[in-house]
Amino acid sequence: MKVTFNGLQREVAHVAELLPGRYFCGIGVCFGCVAEINGVPEVRACRHPLRDGDVIRTTP
């Protein structure tokens, strides 16, 4: 999937590859992977099926 991650173009199969150290429980419990996805804030990224063109931003 071709996505934009914090302003950079990335090609990844799963959102876990974008969030090392933050993707942890994988099932929406730990909230480590919370990110803004396509303008929606506070999304648990692990529960989001990645699609081409997705824009993902992690808050500092």
Partner 1 sequence: MRVVVVGAGPAGMAAARTAADAGAEVVMVDSEPDAGGQYLRGRAKFSHPGVTHLKNTEAWMVEGDVLHLRGPAVLRFDALVVATGAYDRPLPFPGWDGPGVITAGAAQALAKQGITLAGRVIVSGTGPFLLPVATALQDLGATLVGVYEASSPARWLREARAVAANRHKIGELAGYRKVLPRLETRTAVIGKHGDRVTVAKLDSQWRPVSHRTEHADLVCVGYGFLPRTDLLPSASRTDDFLDVDEHQRTSVEHVYAAGEVTGIGGADLAEAEGVVAGAAAAGHKPPANALEAVRRGRLFAGALARAHAVQPGWKSWPHQDTTVCRCEKVRLEDLSDATSMRELKLTSRVALGRCQGRICARNAAELTGVPFDGQRRVIAIPIPLGELADLPEEKS
Q: Which residues bind partner 1 (CB under 8 A)?
A: 13-14, 16-17, 20-21, 23-32, 34, 42, 46-47, 49
The nearest distance, CB 20 to partner 1, in angstroms, is 4
Report the residue number, 8 or 40, with the smaller CB distance to partner 1. 40
Report the residue number, 6 or 32, with the smaller CB distance to partner 1. 32
3-state class (DSSP) for residue 6: coil
> Do 4 and 51 contact (CB within 8 A), yes or no?
no
Check residue 47 and give left, alpha or beta (phi > 0: left; psi -120 to 50: alpha): alpha
